[in-house]
Amino acid sequence: MKVDTLQYKLRSFSDEDLDSILDKRDSSKFEKHWLDLAEKVEPVELNFEGEERFVKLSQATGGHEICSYIIEDIELIEKAIINQIDSPFLSYLIDSYKKGAVPYEYD
């Protein structure tokens, strides 16, 4: 999953915007969906370029904590795809990142 579009969009967010996204992601509703998906994912080996992606995102946000969340999301997405998991929440995560958006609200 490419981070170029996301990296570009993240540059336009203030620290307050990013903090607000984190607060919404930390809500029990969003977190429950994320953890439910993570429980379905079996451990798999990835050729995951997490450090490189993290550096790019950190440059775009000035090292904001949101970068860790994004990297965890991308890793979860890649593992879920390998595990052939079909989930509305997974589709939401994928669609958000394809649009260059950080997912933070899910019903």
Tokens 């994928």 — which residue?
A: 94
Residue 57 covered by a domain: yes
Residue 104 covered by a domain: no
Output the pTM of the full model.
0.89
Residue 50 covered by a domain: yes
Along the 107 residues of the chain, how does pLDDT read in single tens digits?
A: 566 788 888 999 999 999 999 999 998 899 999 999 999 999 888 877 778 888 888 998 988 899 999 999 999 999 999 999 999 999 999 999 998 899 999 97
d(CA 86, CA 91): 8
Going by the DSSP 8-state scheme, the letter that residue 88 receives in this structure is H
Range of the domain at 58: 4-98
Residue 103 covered by a domain: no
Residue 47 covered by a domain: yes
